[in-house]
Structure 1
């Protein structure tokens, strides 16, 4: 970095830094044994309300969040799904689909689980494959930035019906940037 030569240059730099997408982490365990850390980039530049819901639930700053929650449904070759204990979002029970700009392009995509249109809460899933049939139905809001090996280890604990062979828990979570 270099010093700004003009106040407008400083403003431009500050606004670009402010627009950086947040990163959050989950520390994951299987039956209490650590599997590792998964880091997510949240696409606040495309779906700010959805990204903010996940970010705030990751930090627990509203008095509730993902810490201690489980991945209750894991289907190998499809996805790993989790929910905060009550299923409630930071906006109340449910909030509307923000948009469907982003697509389910492959492993590592982070998307909202729902019970139909405009029923987003705290339930989400991590794709372990391309799932284009979900486009236009589930809001994509992030991606795995690091720790896909941890997601793959989680996936090995799943089954065709989604039941897990081990209890997959978010032991800690928070914001990195």
Structure 2
């Protein structure tokens, strides 16, 4: 794999694709010192290989009837959360439920956007469009187009990058470069190595078995990076203050 190809895995600069909203949202693998290294932590890959893989289901449940609303906004929503409060999110998927503790203190604008979009039912009925099973270990969601090209129409700056790392359970924003955050995010199901370029804004507190089962089923076509083999749909995403 060339350095250009490795870079494309992160930023996805394919013709005709946009990333939040201009270029394809991709998370990545890059070559470092001639060795393929998964770019996903400042602190390096943990010696812990991550959670044991579960028996892969042959199918997930049927999605709840409905279509993504694909709403668009001209500007980032104003800050309406309390950065000192605790917020949690629940991803009800066709393959099981994932619970997330949101980090409003370290990533207030990111959590504010996520809570806003969840309240607008922006994530409901959207497919998780990408799974990576080689080098990086993430499930990517949040795009109403399911093509890696969609976003809410606004962008906002990165947060919480100092010393950022991406162990299993991390929830972070996907992007196409500095300050290009929108709606797409990824869930890390196994310790992954990336540079500190992707805003961590939460941690999975329940449902890691759901993520590892999705990953164990692999991607369509059997590649290490592509659409999940299972039909992973976010039936609903809710975010509440605790």
TM bin, normalised by shorter chain, reads 0.7 to 0.9
The count of aligned residue pairs is: 150
**Gapped regions of structure 2 (runs ≥ 5):** 1-81
Runs of 4+ with deviation above 4 angstroms: none
Query: What is the root-mean-square deviation in Å for CA atoms of aligned residues?
Result: 2.1
Q: How far did 1:18 drift?
A: 7.9
TM-score, length basis structure 1? 0.76
Taking the aligned partners of 2:131 and 2:109, their CA distance within structure 1 comes to 26
For 2:141, which of 72, 82, 89 is the aligned residue?
Answer: 82
Deviations 1:124-154 (A, max 9, x none): 000122223232x111110101111111122
Q: Distance in 1 between matches of 2:163 and 2:124?
A: 27
Q: TM-score, normalised by structure 2?
A: 0.57
CA distance in 2, matches of 1:123, 1:47: 15
Distance 1:67 1:118 in 2: 25
Q: What are structure 1's unaligned runs of at least 5 residues?
A: 1-16, 30-34
1:24-103 → structure 2 map (5 Å cutoff): 24-29=89-94, 35-60=95-120, 64-76=121-133, 78-85=137-144, 87-89=150-152, 92-101=153-162, 103=164
Cα distance per residue 1:147-173 (max 9 Å; x no partner): 111111222233302222122100122
Tell me, yes or no, if the aligned pair for 1:73 and 1:158 is still in contact at 8 Å. Answer: no
Please name the residue that 2:65 is paired with. none
